[in-house]
Amino acid sequence: MAYLYEAVRLYVNFFQSSFKLIEKVRDGATTIKRYSPPTTPCDRLISHDATGAELQAGLNEYRSGLDPVLLLHTIREA
């Protein structure tokens, strides 16, 4: 199971885009939600103002060494 969770964690954090809720406004019974454009958690971390240049470079280097097709294959086998 640890082998599966490691592959899923890497795939989700580096390659699977997701929406993030920015704003939620309630007007009576109607709720209006605004979402950010879909990005990966890694991209969100890299673009954050508090993230240093050294960490950004390290994340980009780590991501360039990953193969999303191989991770999906590993997930399906596990």
**CA 62, CA 52: separation in Å to the nearest integer?**
16
Q: What does the pLDDT look like over 18-46, one tens digit per residue?
A: 999 999 999 999 999 999 999 999 999 99
- Using the predicted structure, report yes or no on whether residue 3 has a pLDDT greater than 90: no
Check residue 78 and give its pLDDT: 87
Largest CA distance in the chain: 50
- Which range of residues forms the domain containing residue 48? 2-77
CA angle 52, 44, 69 (to 5 degrees): 110
Map residue 40 onto helix, strand or coil.
coil
**Mean pLDDT value across the chain:** 94
Residue 18 phi/psi, 5-degree rounding, is -150, 155
What is the pTM assigned to this prediction? 0.79
Tally of domains in the chain: 1
- Using the predicted structure, report yes or no on whether residue 5 has a pLDDT greater than 90: yes
